[in-house]
Amino acid sequence: MKYKMCLIAFNFGKLPSYFDLWLKSAERNKNYNFLLYIDDTTQYNFPFNVKVKYITFKECVKKIRNIFDFDIHIPTPYKICDFRPAFGEIFKDDLRGFDFWGTIDFDIILGEIEDFITEDILEKYDKILTRDHFCLYRNTEEINKHYKGKQALGDMLYKKAFTTPYVIAFGERGGYGVYNIWKYNHWKMYDKAICGDVLPGYYHFEYKIEDYSKRERALLFYQDVEGKVYSVIEDSGGNYTKKELMYIHLQKRKMIDMDRIERRKCIVIIPNRIISYDSIDNDFAKLVNEYQLDKTYILDILQKWKWKVYKTQCLIRNKQLLHQYKYEL
Protein backbone atom coordinates (compact mmCIF):
# COMPACT_ATOMS: atom_id res chain seq x y z
CA MET A 1 0.00 0.00 0.00
CA LYS A 2 1.36 3.42 -0.96
CA TYR A 3 -0.36 5.24 1.91
CA LYS A 4 0.86 5.30 5.51
CA MET A 5 -1.98 4.87 8.01
CA CYS A 6 -2.27 5.42 11.75
CA LEU A 7 -5.24 4.53 13.94
CA ILE A 8 -5.49 6.05 17.43
CA ALA A 9 -7.10 4.29 20.39
CA PHE A 10 -7.38 5.45 23.99
CA ASN A 11 -8.44 3.78 27.20
CA PHE A 12 -8.22 4.64 30.89
CA GLY A 13 -8.70 1.67 33.14
CA LYS A 14 -8.48 -2.06 32.53
CA LEU A 15 -8.41 -3.16 28.90
CA PRO A 16 -10.96 -5.81 27.74
CA SER A 17 -10.25 -9.43 28.59
CA TYR A 18 -10.04 -10.19 24.86
CA PHE A 19 -7.45 -7.44 24.21
CA ASP A 20 -5.04 -10.11 22.95
CA LEU A 21 -7.50 -10.76 20.09
CA TRP A 22 -7.52 -7.03 19.31
CA LEU A 23 -3.72 -7.04 19.18
CA LYS A 24 -3.60 -10.13 16.98
CA SER A 25 -6.12 -8.67 14.53
CA ALA A 26 -4.15 -5.39 14.47
CA GLU A 27 -0.92 -7.28 13.76
CA ARG A 28 -2.50 -9.05 10.77
CA ASN A 29 -3.27 -5.66 9.20
CA LYS A 30 0.43 -4.98 8.73
CA ASN A 31 -0.05 -1.92 6.50
CA TYR A 32 -1.77 -0.09 9.35
CA ASN A 33 -0.08 1.44 12.38
CA PHE A 34 -1.83 1.68 15.75
CA LEU A 35 -1.09 4.30 18.39
CA LEU A 36 -2.43 3.56 21.88
CA TYR A 37 -2.87 6.10 24.67
CA ILE A 38 -3.54 4.00 27.77
CA ASP A 39 -2.80 3.76 31.49
CA ASP A 40 -3.09 -0.04 31.83
CA THR A 41 0.51 -1.19 32.35
CA THR A 42 -0.28 -4.91 32.09
CA GLN A 43 2.44 -6.66 30.09
CA TYR A 44 1.32 -7.62 26.58
CA ASN A 45 3.17 -8.83 23.51
CA PHE A 46 2.69 -5.70 21.43
CA PRO A 47 3.28 -6.37 17.71
CA PHE A 48 5.60 -4.31 15.48
CA ASN A 49 2.81 -2.02 14.20
CA VAL A 50 1.39 -1.11 17.64
CA LYS A 51 2.99 1.77 19.52
CA VAL A 52 2.01 2.45 23.14
CA LYS A 53 2.14 5.78 24.97
CA TYR A 54 1.30 5.47 28.64
CA ILE A 55 -0.61 8.50 29.83
CA THR A 56 -2.98 9.23 32.69
CA PHE A 57 -6.48 10.61 32.22
CA LYS A 58 -5.42 13.93 33.77
CA GLU A 59 -2.40 14.19 31.48
CA CYS A 60 -4.58 13.49 28.45
CA VAL A 61 -7.12 16.17 29.46
CA LYS A 62 -4.27 18.66 29.90
CA LYS A 63 -2.96 17.82 26.43
CA ILE A 64 -6.40 18.42 24.91
CA ARG A 65 -6.92 21.67 26.83
CA ASN A 66 -3.67 23.07 25.45
CA ILE A 67 -5.14 23.00 21.93
CA PHE A 68 -8.14 25.26 22.56
CA ASP A 69 -8.48 28.89 23.63
CA PHE A 70 -11.75 28.30 25.50
CA ASP A 71 -12.72 26.20 28.52
CA ILE A 72 -13.57 22.59 27.75
CA HIS A 73 -15.27 20.02 29.95
CA ILE A 74 -14.00 16.42 30.19
CA PRO A 75 -15.37 15.06 33.48
CA THR A 76 -14.98 11.40 32.46
CA PRO A 77 -12.78 9.42 30.03
CA TYR A 78 -15.85 8.64 27.91
CA LYS A 79 -16.22 12.35 27.11
CA ILE A 80 -12.92 12.19 25.18
CA CYS A 81 -14.91 10.42 22.44
CA ASP A 82 -16.39 13.80 21.46
CA PHE A 83 -12.88 15.11 20.80
CA ARG A 84 -11.94 12.34 18.36
CA PRO A 85 -12.60 14.47 15.23
CA ALA A 86 -9.94 16.88 16.56
CA PHE A 87 -7.28 14.20 17.16
CA GLY A 88 -5.52 15.28 13.96
CA GLU A 89 -4.69 18.57 15.70
CA ILE A 90 -4.42 17.29 19.28
CA PHE A 91 -1.92 14.54 18.41
CA LYS A 92 -0.39 16.13 15.30
CA ASP A 93 3.18 15.65 16.56
CA ASP A 94 2.64 11.89 16.76
CA LEU A 95 0.96 11.80 13.33
CA ARG A 96 3.71 13.38 11.28
CA GLY A 97 4.57 11.34 8.20
CA PHE A 98 1.21 9.57 7.97
CA ASP A 99 -1.07 10.08 4.96
CA PHE A 100 -4.20 9.15 6.92
CA TRP A 101 -5.00 9.05 10.61
CA GLY A 102 -8.11 7.65 12.26
CA THR A 103 -9.72 6.36 15.43
CA ILE A 104 -10.56 2.88 16.61
CA ASP A 105 -12.14 1.31 19.71
CA PHE A 106 -10.80 -1.56 21.80
CA ASP A 107 -14.08 -3.55 21.77
CA ILE A 108 -13.39 -4.42 18.14
CA ILE A 109 -12.03 -7.49 16.39
CA LEU A 110 -10.63 -6.55 13.01
CA GLY A 111 -10.88 -8.60 9.88
CA GLU A 112 -8.99 -7.77 6.68
CA ILE A 113 -9.24 -3.97 6.35
CA GLU A 114 -7.85 -3.87 2.80
CA ASP A 115 -10.64 -6.13 1.54
CA PHE A 116 -12.95 -3.16 2.17
CA ILE A 117 -10.84 0.00 2.14
CA THR A 118 -8.85 -0.11 -1.08
CA GLU A 119 -6.22 2.27 -2.43
CA ASP A 120 -8.82 3.49 -4.91
CA ILE A 121 -11.12 4.55 -2.04
CA LEU A 122 -8.23 6.24 -0.24
CA GLU A 123 -7.36 8.08 -3.45
CA LYS A 124 -10.90 9.44 -3.94
CA TYR A 125 -12.07 10.31 -0.42
CA ASP A 126 -10.80 12.44 2.46
CA LYS A 127 -12.94 10.84 5.18
CA ILE A 128 -13.56 7.10 5.17
CA LEU A 129 -16.46 5.74 7.24
CA THR A 130 -18.64 7.73 9.63
CA ARG A 131 -18.54 5.88 12.95
CA ASP A 132 -15.70 6.92 15.19
CA HIS A 133 -15.13 3.38 16.48
CA PHE A 134 -13.34 3.09 13.11
CA CYS A 135 -12.84 5.95 10.70
CA LEU A 136 -10.04 7.59 8.72
CA TYR A 137 -9.17 11.19 7.78
CA ARG A 138 -6.67 12.40 5.22
CA ASN A 139 -3.86 13.92 7.26
CA THR A 140 -3.61 17.50 6.02
CA GLU A 141 -3.74 20.74 8.00
CA GLU A 142 -6.90 21.85 6.20
CA ILE A 143 -8.82 18.58 6.61
CA ASN A 144 -7.78 18.26 10.25
CA LYS A 145 -9.75 21.48 10.86
CA HIS A 146 -12.93 20.29 9.11
CA TYR A 147 -14.58 19.47 12.45
CA LYS A 148 -14.91 23.26 12.88
CA GLY A 149 -16.95 23.59 9.69
CA LYS A 150 -20.46 24.92 9.26
CA GLN A 151 -23.58 22.80 9.01
CA ALA A 152 -27.37 23.21 8.99
CA LEU A 153 -27.44 23.97 12.74
CA GLY A 154 -24.88 26.75 12.25
CA ASP A 155 -21.16 27.11 12.82
CA MET A 156 -19.07 26.71 15.96
CA LEU A 157 -20.91 23.48 16.80
CA TYR A 158 -17.63 21.98 17.95
CA LYS A 159 -17.48 24.55 20.76
CA LYS A 160 -20.87 23.39 22.04
CA ALA A 161 -19.69 19.78 21.81
CA PHE A 162 -16.45 20.47 23.69
CA THR A 163 -17.96 22.64 26.43
CA THR A 164 -20.92 20.38 27.18
CA PRO A 165 -19.93 18.02 30.02
CA TYR A 166 -21.74 14.93 28.72
CA VAL A 167 -21.18 12.96 25.51
CA ILE A 168 -23.18 14.12 22.48
CA ALA A 169 -21.53 11.75 19.95
CA PHE A 170 -19.83 14.55 18.01
CA GLY A 171 -17.77 12.03 16.04
CA GLU A 172 -20.81 10.05 14.90
CA ARG A 173 -23.68 10.29 12.40
CA GLY A 174 -26.20 11.96 14.73
CA GLY A 175 -27.62 15.47 14.57
CA TYR A 176 -24.66 16.97 16.43
CA GLY A 177 -22.01 14.96 14.59
CA VAL A 178 -19.23 15.76 12.15
CA TYR A 179 -20.99 13.55 9.60
CA ASN A 180 -23.49 16.35 9.05
CA ILE A 181 -20.70 18.93 8.81
CA TRP A 182 -19.01 16.93 6.05
CA LYS A 183 -22.29 16.28 4.27
CA TYR A 184 -23.39 19.94 4.47
CA ASN A 185 -20.11 21.14 2.95
CA HIS A 186 -20.05 18.41 0.27
CA TRP A 187 -16.63 17.24 1.32
CA LYS A 188 -15.44 13.89 -0.07
CA MET A 189 -16.66 11.23 2.34
CA TYR A 190 -16.98 7.45 1.88
CA ASP A 191 -19.85 6.00 3.89
CA LYS A 192 -20.82 2.34 3.79
CA ALA A 193 -22.01 -0.16 6.42
CA ILE A 194 -19.24 -2.76 6.17
CA CYS A 195 -18.97 -3.92 9.79
CA GLY A 196 -20.94 -5.83 12.40
CA ASP A 197 -21.68 -2.88 14.69
CA VAL A 198 -23.95 -4.71 17.12
CA LEU A 199 -26.81 -2.73 18.61
CA PRO A 200 -26.61 -2.75 22.42
CA GLY A 201 -30.38 -2.95 22.94
CA TYR A 202 -30.53 -6.59 21.81
CA TYR A 203 -29.19 -9.81 23.29
CA HIS A 204 -28.68 -11.34 19.85
CA PHE A 205 -26.36 -9.77 17.26
CA GLU A 206 -28.31 -7.20 15.29
CA TYR A 207 -26.58 -4.53 13.24
CA LYS A 208 -27.33 -2.05 10.46
CA ILE A 209 -26.46 -2.71 6.82
CA GLU A 210 -26.45 -0.98 3.41
CA ASP A 211 -27.33 2.70 3.97
CA TYR A 212 -28.04 2.16 7.69
CA SER A 213 -31.79 2.00 7.02
CA LYS A 214 -31.94 -1.81 7.19
CA ARG A 215 -30.89 -4.32 9.82
CA GLU A 216 -29.45 -7.79 9.73
CA ARG A 217 -29.43 -10.45 12.43
CA ALA A 218 -26.36 -12.63 12.84
CA LEU A 219 -26.58 -15.83 14.83
CA LEU A 220 -22.84 -15.71 15.45
CA PHE A 221 -19.58 -14.17 14.26
CA TYR A 222 -16.34 -16.00 13.66
CA GLN A 223 -12.73 -15.35 12.68
CA ASP A 224 -10.93 -17.89 10.49
CA VAL A 225 -7.27 -18.92 10.47
CA GLU A 226 -6.43 -16.12 8.00
CA GLY A 227 -7.88 -13.50 10.32
CA LYS A 228 -10.94 -12.63 8.25
CA VAL A 229 -14.20 -12.13 10.15
CA TYR A 230 -17.67 -13.23 9.12
CA SER A 231 -21.26 -13.07 10.26
CA VAL A 232 -23.42 -16.19 10.00
CA ILE A 233 -27.00 -15.50 8.92
CA GLU A 234 -30.04 -17.70 8.52
CA ASP A 235 -31.80 -17.04 5.21
CA SER A 236 -35.52 -17.35 4.46
CA GLY A 237 -35.06 -21.01 3.50
CA GLY A 238 -33.54 -21.93 6.84
CA ASN A 239 -30.03 -22.23 5.42
CA TYR A 240 -26.98 -20.66 7.05
CA THR A 241 -24.79 -18.38 4.98
CA LYS A 242 -21.69 -16.38 5.86
CA LYS A 243 -20.79 -12.81 4.95
CA GLU A 244 -17.37 -11.22 5.33
CA LEU A 245 -17.17 -8.04 7.44
CA MET A 246 -14.35 -5.56 7.93
CA TYR A 247 -14.66 -5.84 11.69
CA ILE A 248 -16.95 -6.76 14.58
CA HIS A 249 -17.84 -4.08 17.13
CA LEU A 250 -19.02 -5.59 20.42
CA GLN A 251 -20.08 -2.23 21.80
CA LYS A 252 -21.15 -2.05 25.44
CA ARG A 253 -21.27 -5.85 25.62
CA LYS A 254 -19.62 -7.84 28.39
CA MET A 255 -18.23 -11.09 27.06
CA ILE A 256 -17.30 -14.33 28.81
CA ASP A 257 -13.89 -15.20 27.41
CA MET A 258 -13.64 -18.98 27.43
CA ASP A 259 -10.05 -19.50 26.26
CA ARG A 260 -8.11 -16.37 27.14
CA ILE A 261 -5.20 -18.34 28.63
CA GLU A 262 -4.69 -20.68 25.68
CA ARG A 263 -5.96 -19.39 22.34
CA ARG A 264 -6.47 -21.69 19.39
CA LYS A 265 -6.42 -20.78 15.68
CA CYS A 266 -10.01 -19.58 15.22
CA ILE A 267 -12.66 -17.94 17.36
CA VAL A 268 -16.44 -18.10 17.42
CA ILE A 269 -18.34 -15.23 19.00
CA ILE A 270 -21.84 -15.86 20.30
CA PRO A 271 -23.96 -13.24 22.12
CA ASN A 272 -22.27 -13.64 25.49
CA ARG A 273 -19.10 -15.68 24.88
CA ILE A 274 -15.87 -15.94 22.88
CA ILE A 275 -14.81 -19.53 22.17
CA SER A 276 -11.60 -20.80 20.54
CA TYR A 277 -11.51 -23.57 17.95
CA ASP A 278 -8.73 -25.27 16.00
CA SER A 279 -10.76 -24.93 12.80
CA ILE A 280 -14.16 -23.86 11.52
CA ASP A 281 -15.78 -26.57 9.37
CA ASN A 282 -18.70 -24.37 8.22
CA ASP A 283 -21.19 -26.67 9.95
CA PHE A 284 -23.01 -23.66 11.33
CA ALA A 285 -26.20 -25.60 12.08
CA LYS A 286 -24.20 -27.64 14.60
CA LEU A 287 -22.95 -24.50 16.34
CA VAL A 288 -26.42 -22.92 16.38
CA ASN A 289 -27.92 -26.02 17.94
CA GLU A 290 -25.05 -26.49 20.40
CA TYR A 291 -25.45 -23.01 21.85
CA GLN A 292 -29.23 -22.74 21.22
CA LEU A 293 -28.70 -19.45 19.42
CA ASP A 294 -32.23 -19.35 18.00
CA LYS A 295 -33.80 -19.33 21.49
CA THR A 296 -33.04 -15.83 22.70
CA TYR A 297 -36.52 -14.25 22.90
CA ILE A 298 -36.65 -13.90 26.68
CA LEU A 299 -33.04 -12.73 26.79
CA ASP A 300 -33.87 -10.12 24.13
CA ILE A 301 -36.69 -8.76 26.29
CA LEU A 302 -34.39 -8.58 29.33
CA GLN A 303 -31.68 -6.85 27.30
CA LYS A 304 -34.11 -4.23 26.01
CA TRP A 305 -35.18 -3.42 29.57
CA LYS A 306 -31.54 -3.23 30.69
CA TRP A 307 -30.83 -0.85 27.80
CA LYS A 308 -33.78 1.36 28.77
CA VAL A 309 -32.51 1.49 32.35
CA TYR A 310 -29.02 2.39 31.11
CA LYS A 311 -30.34 5.23 28.92
CA THR A 312 -32.44 6.55 31.81
CA GLN A 313 -29.37 6.53 34.04
CA CYS A 314 -27.46 8.44 31.33
CA LEU A 315 -30.20 11.10 31.12
CA ILE A 316 -30.16 11.56 34.89
CA ARG A 317 -26.37 11.79 34.90
CA ASN A 318 -26.44 14.33 32.05
CA LYS A 319 -28.85 16.56 33.99
CA GLN A 320 -26.61 16.33 37.02
CA LEU A 321 -23.60 17.33 34.93
CA LEU A 322 -25.46 20.26 33.38
CA HIS A 323 -26.43 21.48 36.82
CA GLN A 324 -22.88 20.99 38.04
CA TYR A 325 -21.38 23.00 35.18
CA LYS A 326 -24.35 25.41 34.95
CA TYR A 327 -24.43 25.09 31.20
CA GLU A 328 -27.18 24.39 28.70
CA LEU A 329 -26.67 23.13 25.17
The tens-digit pLDDT sequence of the chain (329 residues) is 789 999 999 999 999 989 999 999 999 999 999 999 999 999 999 999 999 999 999 999 999 999 999 999 999 999 999 999 999 999 999 999 999 999 999 999 999 999 999 999 999 999 999 999 999 999 999 999 999 998 877 778 899 899 988 898 899 887 778 999 999 999 999 999 899 999 888 888 988 887 787 888 888 899 999 999 999 988 877 788 899 999 999 988 888 887 766 788 889 998 888 988 888 777 777 777 777 666 666 777 777 777 777 778 777 777 777 767 665 44
Residue 111 lies in a domain: yes
Residue 323: inside a domain: no
Q: How many CB atoms lie within 10 A of CB 200?
A: 15
Q: Are residues 201 and 186 in the same domain?
A: no
The boundaries of the domain holding residue 99 are: 5-190
| Count of the separate structural domains present in the chain | 2
- Does residue 229 share a domain with residue 174? no
Could you give the CA distance from residue 172 to residue 4 in angstroms, rounded to a whole number? 24
Q: Are residues 105 and 249 in the same domain?
A: no
pTM score: 0.90
User: Residues with Cβ < 8 Å from 99, sequence gap 6 or more?
Assistant: 3, 4, 5, 122, 138, 139
- Comparing C-alpha atoms, which of 147, 166, 133, 140 is closest to residue 10? 133
Residue 67 sits in a domain whose CATH number is 3.90.550
